[in-house]
Amino acid sequence: MADLSPPTHTEADCIFCKIVARELPAFVLEEDEHTLAFMDINPGTRGHALVIPRNHSQDLLTVPEADLTATVLAAQRLAGRMKERLGCDGVNLLNCCGADAWQTVFHLHIHVIPRYRDDPDRDPLRLPWIPAPGDMDDIKAVAQELTA
pLDDT digits (tens, 9 = 90+) for 19-48: 999 999 999 999 999 999 999 999 999 999
Spatial separation of the C-alpha atoms in residues 8 and 124, rounded to whole Å: 32
**Rounded alpha-carbon distances, angstroms, from residue 38 to 11, 20, 97, 119, 143:** 19, 10, 19, 24, 37
Domains of the chain: total = 1
Check whether 4 has a pLDDT greater than 80: no
State the average pLDDT over residues 49-72.
98
Enumerate the active-site residues: 109
Task: Let me know if residue 6 belongs to a domain.
Answer: no
Task: Let me know if residue 134 belongs to a domain.
Answer: yes
Task: Let me know if residue 18 belongs to a domain.
Answer: yes
Task: Let me know if residue 88 belongs to a domain.
Answer: yes
Spatial separation of the C-alpha atoms in residues 13 and 105, rounded to whole Å: 10
Check whether 52 has a pLDDT greater than 90: yes
42-67 burial, b at 16+ Cβ within 10 Å, e below that, comes to ebbbbbbbbbbbbbbbbbbeebeeeb
Q: What is the pLDDT of residue 7?
A: 55
Domain that holds residue 119: 11-147
Task: Let me know if residue 103 belongs to a domain.
Answer: yes
Check whether 51 has a pLDDT greater than 90: yes
Q: Are strands 49-53 and 110-115 parallel, antiparallel or unpaired?
A: antiparallel
| DSSP reduced 3-state for 148 | coil
pLDDT top residue among 84 and 2: 84
CA atoms within 13 A on the CB side of 72: 9
Q: What is the pLDDT of residue 8?
A: 58
Task: Let me know if residue 2 belongs to a domain.
Answer: no
When pLDDT is cut at 50, 70 and 90, the band that residue 120 belongs to is confident
Check whether 144 has a pLDDT greater than 90: yes
Task: Let me know if residue 5 belongs to a domain.
Answer: no
CATH number for the domain that contains residue 76: 3.30.428.10
Task: Let me know if residue 127 belongs to a domain.
Answer: yes
DSSP for residue 31: E
